[in-house]
Amino acid sequence: MKRRERTRQLIELGGLVAKAGLVELTDDDRAVLFGVMVEAAATLQGEHRDEVLTLWRRRGRRAFADSDTEL
């Protein structure tokens, strides 16, 4: 991945963290934010990976639709 593409990807991912309200909900505590992501990664390594992905995908799509933002 080229540097410019990687920078864009990181900016978009940061935007998703902010859009989800996690920055405000955690008082911008980077350790908490990272902990949430580590927990999500651990969950995705479990035996219910496919079910969790389906659930999270539905929630994400619903949140995008509610906020009038495209996927």
Look at residue 26 and tell me if it is in a domain. Answer: yes
pLDDT digits (tens, 9 = 90+) for 13-31: 999 999 999 999 999 999 9
Look at residue 34 and tell me if it is in a domain. Answer: yes
Look at residue 18 and tell me if it is in a domain. Answer: yes
pTM metric for this prediction: 0.81
Name the nearest CA neighbour of 15 among 7, 56, 61, 53.
7
Look at residue 17 and tell me if it is in a domain. Answer: yes
Look at residue 52 and tell me if it is in a domain. Answer: yes
Mean pLDDT computed over every residue of the chain: 94
Look at residue 16 and tell me if it is in a domain. Answer: yes
Kindly indicate the confidence band of residue 65, based on its pLDDT and cuts at 50, 70 and 90. Answer: very high
pLDDT at residue 69 is higher than 60: no
Total number of domains constituting the chain: 1
For residue 57, give Cα distances in angstroms to 7, 31, 51, 53: 24, 25, 10, 6
Look at residue 71 and tell me if it is in a domain. Answer: no
pLDDT at residue 70 is higher than 80: no
Domain that holds residue 11: 3-66
pLDDT at residue 49 is higher than 60: yes
